[in-house]
Amino acid sequence: KVVGTYVKSPLRWGIHVKKGSPIRHPAELKGRVFGVSRMLSGSHLMAHVFADQQGWAPATDAPLKIVGTLDGAREAMGKGEIDAWLWEKFTTKHLVDNGEWDIIGEVPTPWPCFLFVASETALASKGEQIQKMVEVTKTLCDEFKANDGDKTVQYVSENHALSIADAREWLDGTQWACALEVTKETFAKTQKALITIGQLDEVVSDSQLHAPIC
């Protein structure tokens, strides 16, 4: 069950098209083929979140093609088998920078990036340890966010193939919560999206998903 919020800022999914594509605006993707890594994946979910936000019928206005990995998406895009690929924008930034793809928009997740979850067994026997883990994580994340001496930006740039400017943009836009709290809105918006792609049949109560730790 969910016990808290790790990163409270949204994950920023870029809307990518092939370099030189005549598609220059997200609204022009209606009826075009979206690549997904697999069904019920994040790329599937966000393609249909995007379609829903546009007021489209996801099943018909955002058809999907499974392409597997990021390399599979690159190959499919190059062959013209897909028209768009939604992926975390900083992970694919190097493909935009090298001229392979263009990014024509963003779709931030309507919920926090990452949550803390725990098994029923851990909840029954390790509540105190879970609480301590979250507290320690917050201390480390606060230090990371502080970017003392620009060390965090340098680390992200060197280890994730990002320019200094892109690393700084990522850090500025990322907010760690590291708290044993989850909003009702998080459960509501996530379940709505999961119903849209057929992962859930109906909304379930927060109590079935959330295990408060005091």
Place of tokens 């190059």: 78
Is 33 in contact with 82 (CB distance < 8 Å)? yes
Angle between helices 42-53 and 184-196 (to 10 degrees): 90
Q: What is the pLDDT of residues 83-137, one digit of tens each?
A: 999 999 999 999 999 999 999 999 999 999 999 999 999 999 999 999 999 999 9
The CA–CA distances, whole Å, from 71 to 68, 75, 77, 98, 105 equal 8, 6, 10, 15, 21
Strand pairing report for 34-36 and 84-88: parallel
Is 133 in contact with 123 (CB distance < 8 Å)? no
Mean pLDDT by 10 residues, the chain (214 residues): 97 97 97 96 94 93 97 98 97 95 96 96 95 97 98 97 95 97 95 87 94 84
Place of tokens 């019920």: 40
The per-residue pLDDT for 198 is 82
The per-residue pLDDT for 214 is 66
Q: How far apart are CA 4 and CA 117, in angstroms?
A: 7
Q: How far apart are CA 50 and CA 58, in angstroms?
A: 9
